[in-house]
Amino acid sequence: CLGRGAFGSVYRALKWSTGETVAIKQVRLSDLPKSELNVIMQEIDLLKNLNHANIVKYQGFVKTADNLYIILEYCENGSLHSICKNFGKFPENLVSLYTSQVLQGLLFLHEQGVIHRDIKGANILTTKEGLVKLADFGVATKAQGLTEGSVVGTPYWMAPEVIELSGATTASDIWLAPMPALFRIVNDDHPPLPEGASPLVRDFLMQCFQKDPNLRVTAKKLLKHPWIMSTRKEEKTKKPTEYDQAVKSVQEWNEALKSSPPNAQASSRRSSARQKSRSPIP
């Protein structure tokens, strides 16, 4: 069991046909009002069509008399919320790497006309390679102008327009901070900024915390912010390690062997064996 919620649990599971590890969200139907089941089935319909590296991949569902099982991609490192609890505060460059991927996932969603409406650390999952994936689309909705009249999401992470019932738009996903009380989100100029944050980070956050959703910056524009761009540039210019180069040379050698005729391969192996027999023992 990976975690428990109001209506069920999430389990790590093994796919017997392939040996692949997956996550299965088990929803107990006896505990679930019919309206909630409709919401979950809408979530499944939404997930079916979302195929992106930074979105948790949906793999199917099974419904029995007692339970609904939703099969999802398994993210072995858990949520950013749990990682932060275990390791403490992240350095700015790591936050930038995570934020860049969250924004790429959001950009994809917003281009599909989908508003997530519950972006927070617990709904951002990671793999052991550090890849970040948005999860839990239980309150996501298709954007049709303003979504009026419903407060959905997790209170401390809500944008002001969602709390005030003036409607959620894609801009409502660009609001990134926990708050001690709902009225402060509405009444204060902006959430408190982290102590010691660099000027670039402060500028990034202030663009996210624009109270007017019409003026709030988009995911696409945030991906071009200097703070995000600097980290992405560093990633691209990293030199390959000796290990990476060794792996590459082995792959190239194997490819060369595949493409050479069988006799050439045999003579190559014999030649290699002769060279080894002549080599002095270290």
Spell out a b/e string for 162-176, using b for 16 or more CB atoms within 10 Å of the CB, else e: bbeeeebbbbbbbbb
Q: Of 45, 66, 118, 189, which is the active-site residue?
A: 118
- Cα dihedral 144, 146, 150, 153, rounded to 10, equals 80
Query: Is 212 in the active site?
Result: no
Spell out a b/e string for 67-76, using b for 16 or more CB atoms within 10 Å of the CB, else e: ebbbbbbbbe
Contacts of residue 165, defined as CB under 8 A and 6 or more positions apart, other chains included, come to 148, 149, 150, 151
Burial class (CB in 10 A: 0-12, 13-18, 19+), 181: exposed
Could you list the active site residues? Answer: 118
